[in-house]
Amino acid sequence: MAEDWTFEALDAEIDDIRHRVLQHGRFLASYFVGRDTEAELMLLAAATQEPLLFAGPPGTAKSDLVLKFVESLGLGGEDYFEYMLTKFTEPSEILGPIDIAQLKDGRFRRRTRGMLPEAKVVFLDEIFKSNSAILNTLLTIVNERKFYQDGAPEPVQLRLLFAATNDIPEQSELVALSDRFVLKVETRPVKERHFEALIDAGMRTEASRALSQRPWADGPASFIDFLKLKRYLDLHFAESGRLGDHARWFPPAIFAELRRIVRVLETEDQVYVSDRKAVKIYKLIRARAFLHHGGAVQAGDLRVLRYVGNRRAELPIVEEKVNSLLGLDG
């Protein structure tokens, strides 16, 4: 599938796509209890192809969210690669085994079929349990969408990367990887508040899986919709980029608000926002605005800022802080 649609071609159908995608979020969320935010962030991550990190204790539907999302897009089989990392995970386990036949000819290549390099959607569970060898490979894959075969870079198929973790470590080598996840969302247990609903939803899922039924497959939007959306956003950003994107799409008052909130997070709560991250945040806000209103950013779109915390303990604090700052304008 060549993802080289033209702006004109996409322009005609983009509104339909947007609506399907938004509907898709509601569709996905309906299979969970209290996971609307997560579902919305997944849409945003998928539309921008930015990685998304779920941080939360076991059993809070992190895996299930990703799996249902993938299945709801009609993906499966070799398009999707999921792996739980441990510190003993070998590169072969995710990149594919060494091709022995080729090794005899002195070529160091991996057989990547069904492995991460050929998957379009990847879910890495316990991502921070990975060791240095995996870490470096992952960084290259996330940053450059490449991996090395016999010393030469080759593109990977990766479009969407989701990851889950219970904890976000602060070891310096892991911070590099953690930084790539601009958005981090805390999945909190809902049992306390929605016990019955949770049980019902859980039972439905269990029963469906046992009977090999997947009512959530076949959601309103398809994977192609997301690819097109991404392509459209790229073209759209490229076009307005020349004029100074924010002058056109970001009303000055809201832009000032963005700047203020980032400043306050940095100074009052010591949330580190690198330059790279600032640009990514901007892009995500723009993308959310486009998805929801098809145009200029509105104050509500700044809600994306709730999820820009870095450290584990910071996530709820940033969420609450951004909420209260955003509430200041009513």
Partner 1 sequence: MKGLRLHGAAADLARLDALLAALPGLADAPWWALDDPASGSYLLVSEGFSSEAADAAGVGLEDVDPRALAPARRAAHLLEALRPVPAPHDEVPDDALFVVPAADPAATRTVERLLRLGRGDATLTQWTGPGGLTLGIRVAQPPLYLLLRARDGDEPVRAYARHRSTSLWVAWSFQHPLADAAAARLGEAGALVDAAGPWTLVPARGQERGLLALTDAALPAPIATLSASESEPVRFTVALRLELDRPRPASLWVLRPDELPALQPLLEATPLEGLGAVTLARLYGEAGVQYVVRLRSGAEDEGIADRLAGLLRSPGYVRVPGAERIFVPAGQRLMPPMRIEALRAVLQPPEGGLAVVQATGDGPSILRIGPAPEAPLRDLVDYIALDHRATLDALLEQAVFAIPAFHLDRTLTPTRAAKRPPPMPRQPRVKRPRPVAPVAPVAGEVATEAEQIRAWRLEAEPLQTRVAAGGLTDAAAWQRLGELLGHLGDADDAGLCLEAAAFHADDAASARAALEALITGRMAAQGVAAARLPEVMLAAATADRPGPDALALFGAAAARDAADGALMDGLGPLVVQAFAQRQGVASRRLAWLALRAFHGATGDLLGLTRAKEVLLGALNSDGLREAFDAPRFVRLGLALGGEEAVAGAGSDLQRAALTSAWARLEGDLDDLDLQATLYRAIFAVGFAQAGDMSRARGLAHDVEELRPLFDPPGRALLRLYLARLECLGVDDPGPIWERAVAEATQGLSSREQSAVDFARRRSLWLAEGATPPRRLDSGVEARLALLAADADDIPAALRAPGLGYDYLIADLVEGALALADATGREALMAESRDAALIALEQLDIPGHRATVIGATLRTAALLEDEAAVHGLIELFMRQIPEMESIAEILRAVEPAMAALRRIGLGSEAERFLLALRDVARRGHREAVKVAVFVADGFRLLGDVPAAERTLAEIEQAIYTPGLDPIARFEGASTLFGTLRAWSVSAREMAADKALESLDLFRDNFTTQRYFRLHRFLLVERVVDALSDTRAHGGGRLRLWLEAEEQAVRRRIVADWRSAR
Ligand X SMILES: Nc1ncnc2c1ncn2[C@@H]1O[C@H](COP(=O)(O)OP(=O)(O)O)[C@@H](O)[C@H]1O
Q: Are 195 and 85 in contact (CB under 8 A)?
A: no
204 binds ligand X (CB under 6 A): no
Q: Which of 21, 47, 61, 134 binds ligand X (CB under 6 A)?
A: 61
CA atoms within 13 A on the CB side of 14: 22
Beta-carbon-side half-sphere exposure of residue 123 (alpha carbons within 13 Å): 19
Q: Which is nearer to ligand X, 29 or 227 (CB)?
A: 29
Q: How far is the CB of 253 from partner 1 (least distance, A)?
A: 6
Is residue 63 a contact point for Mg ion (CB under 5 A)? yes
Residue 64 interacts with, from partner 1, ligand X, Mg ion, none (CB under 5-8 Å by kind): ligand X
Of residues 170-199, those binding partner 1 (CB under 8 A): 171-173, 191-197, 199
- The interface region with partner 1, picked from 3-11, 53-61, 158-166, 315-323 by CB under 8 A, is 315-323
**Tokens coding 155:** 């593109």
Distance from C-alpha of 18 to C-alpha of 40, rounded to nearest angstrom: 13
Backbone angles phi, psi at 54, to 5 degrees: -100, 125
Residue 61 contacts which entry, Mg ion, partner 1, ligand X, none (Cβ below 5-8 A, type-dependent): ligand X
Question: With CB cut-offs between 5 and 8 Å by kind, which of Mg ion, ligand X, partner 1, none does residue 4 bind?
Answer: none
Question: 291 to each of 105, 131, 226, 240, 309, how far by Cα in Å?
Answer: 51, 37, 11, 17, 23
Nearer to ligand X, 64 or 245 (CB): 64
Rounded to 5 degrees, what are φ and ψ at 292? -85, -40
| 264 is a site residue for partner 1 (CB under 8 A) | yes
Partner interacting with residue 256 (select from Mg ion, ligand X, partner 1, none; CB below 5-8 Å by kind): partner 1
**In sequence order, what are the residues at sequence separation of 6 or more whose Cβ sits closer than 8 angstroms to the Cβ of residue 205?**
31, 64
Q: Which residue is nearest to Mg ion (CB)?
A: 63
Question: According to the binding rule CB under 5 A, does residue 37 interact with Mg ion?
Answer: no
Q: Is 300 in the site for ligand X (CB under 6 A)?
A: no
- Taking the complex as a whole, the smallest distance from the CB of residue 54 to ligand X amounts, in Å, to 7
Which one, of 120, 112, 75, lies nearest residue 94 by Cα?
112
Nearer to ligand X, 63 or 140 (CB): 63
Quote the least distance from Cβ 313 to partner 1, whole Å: 8
Angle between helices 7-29 and 275-293 in degrees, nearest 10: 90
Which of 63, 131, 157, 208 lies at the binding interface for partner 1 (CB under 8 A)? 131
Q: Which is it for the CA torsion 272, 274, 280, 283, positive or negative? A: positive
Residues near ligand X (CB under 6 A) are 32-35, 58-64, 164, 190, 198, 201-202, 205
